[in-house]
Structure 1
């Protein structure tokens, strides 16, 4: 079995002009794409299979990410179904010079594990063992409400 901590993935992207909207900040669709990619990696860590996006819940944009800043994205699995994995995904705007960061976006994604033919396959159970893992799971579940 895989622990919640083993599914934790974090990635950073420097926002370039080709990622921007008319307001010189990261286009929301680009951020969603990056969140989907990082979330899928977290789901695959748990499933041990390829995973595809099945749904998105509560995608909330709280502030923009300007050109030249960094979009830091964190994802981890927090629940499973028979063939599905629930992943909490959060993004921060991060100053590349200081590392100062503030939360910009939160969401929960559902991924389905698939085999080589594209058919859904069962996923293993997720283990939650440490206090930090329990806190992360609780925060993810609370964010859905």
Structure 2
């Protein structure tokens, strides 16, 4: 069994001009790629297996991330099935000089754990042993339905 807090992964990507669209903000495809990579890391940390993306339930782009800012991405597992792993992902725009952050994107990805033959394999049970973990899980389940 793996505890929810053990699945938390955070990562930063500096938004460079080659990541930008014509508005000089991060192209949505780059943000989605960064989120997918961090989400897969969270799913693999949870399952102890290689995980592949099976579904993106929603991708809400709320505000842009400007060139020169960083995309601060947080992922954590909030639910698991037999071989599937649900991960909540949040991207924030971060100004490293001021440390100011604001949420820009939220999504819910489903990954499938696979074995060495690329066949689905079982994942452990997710445990939630702290109030912080329970708050994260509740937030994911509440916002997933929106």
Deviation at 1:58, TM superposition (A): 2.0
How many residue pairs get matched? 145
Residue in structure 1 matched with residue 112 of structure 2 by the alignment: 112
TM-score, structure 1 normalization: 0.99
> Could you say what secondary structure the match of 2:34 adopts?
helix
Residue in structure 1 matched with residue 13 of structure 2 by the alignment: 13
Structure 2 matches for 1:17-28, cutoff 5 A? 17-28=17-28
Residue in structure 2 matched with residue 30 of structure 1 by the alignment: 30
Q: Distance in 2 between matches of 1:110 and 1:58?
A: 11
User: Where does structure 1 differ by over 3 angstroms across 4 or more consecutive aligned residues?
Assistant: none
Structure 2 matches for 1:1-145, cutoff 5 A? 1-145=1-145
TM-score, structure 2 normalization: 0.98
Q: Distance in 1 between matches of 2:2 and 2:116?
A: 22
> Could you say what secondary structure the match of 2:23 adopts?
coil
Q: Distance in 1 between matches of 2:115 and 2:77?
A: 19
Deviations 1:63-119 (A, max 9, x none): 000000010000000000100000000000000101100000001100000011100
> Could you say what secondary structure the match of 2:30 adopts?
helix
| C-alpha RMSD of the superposition | 0.5
